[in-house]
Structure 1
Amino acid sequence: MNNDRGAGSVFVLAVGLVLVAGGVAGAAVGAARVGRHHARTAADLGALAGAVRAIEGLQPACGRAADLVSANGGRMVSCRLEGLEIVVEVVTPVTPLPGLTMQAKAAARAGPVEGRGVAR
């Protein structure tokens, strides 16, 4: 009697399981990277929108920044003015695997260009 009968099926199943696990891991990494890009985009756009209103003060600038951050799927966790520069920190939800929700974080700064070495 041959004791190796069915060993090929077990091997094929094991290889298939490794390939599926690799695919799931690759999808999770891809989802995390996309989430990070969304957070960066939301932070950049929020900072640019807030910089336009920086001359009006903290409330108008951060209010406008928060509007654009939320329109891009993020949540603003902090906003501050440093002179006429605005610094915005944002988080966006990321679901790398079904049932697992994490947050991607990003920050952006926007404001006027300093006069040093800039042609006018």
Structure 2
Amino acid sequence: MINGWGNQGAEHGGATVCLLAVGLVLVLVGLLGAGLGAARCARHQARNAADFGALAGAGRALEGADAACGRAADLAAANGGRLTACRLDGFDVVVTTEVKVAPLPGLTRAATATSRAGLTRG
């Protein structure tokens, strides 16, 4: 009996392997959580850029589509987004923005959002 249990160390290292497996699972869960958090933040940033872009474009809707969409692109860029689509629908401006995100290393995606804003008639 070398270790006091009578099996001369046949079980040595089992706890180490189990601890490494638990650690690996925790790292993977952490990476997944960080990836989901990054994607959610990008979605909110795209939504904010679209909202502000649409509001800014609506202020210029009477000047035409070029002026409205130009102003919308400026505000979308100032809020971290990129204007991917813009159109005038009567006095409403419909804006779509995109924000690039890398939720996990080597994985790049785009979060998009669309918003509408317009002038009230009356």
TM-score, structure 2 length as denominator?
0.90
Offset at residue 47 of structure 1 (A): 0.2
Report % sequence identity.
57
Taking the TM superposition and a 5 Å limit, the aligned residue runs for 1:45-84 are: 45-84=52-91
Measured in 2, the distance between the counterparts of 1:99 and 1:27 equals: 14
Please list the CA deviations of residues 89-115 of structure 1 after superposition, one character each: whole Å capped at 9, or x if unmatched. Answer: 010111112332211000000012466
Measured in 2, the distance between the counterparts of 1:70 and 1:60 equals: 16
Measured in 2, the distance between the counterparts of 1:114 and 1:39 equals: 28
Residue 83 of structure 2: SS of its match in structure 1?
strand
| Bigger Rg over Cα | 2
Point out where structure 1 has 5 or more consecutive residues left out of the alignment. 116-120
Offset at residue 2 of structure 1 (A): 3.4
Offset at residue 72 of structure 1 (A): 1.2
Alignment root-mean-square deviation, CA: 1.2
Partner residue of 1:85?
Answer: 92
Measured in 2, the distance between the counterparts of 1:93 and 1:36 equals: 10
TM-score, structure 1 length as denominator?
0.91
Contact 2:85-2:95 at 8 Å conserved across structures:
yes
Partner residue of 1:118?
Answer: none
Runs of 4+ in 1 over 6 A off after TM superposition: none
Residue 110 of structure 1: SS of its match in structure 2?
strand
Point out where structure 2 has 5 or more consecutive residues left out of the alignment. 1-7
Q: Is it true that 1:4 corresponds to 2:4 in the alignment? A: no
Which residue of 42, 48, 51 maps to 1:41? 48
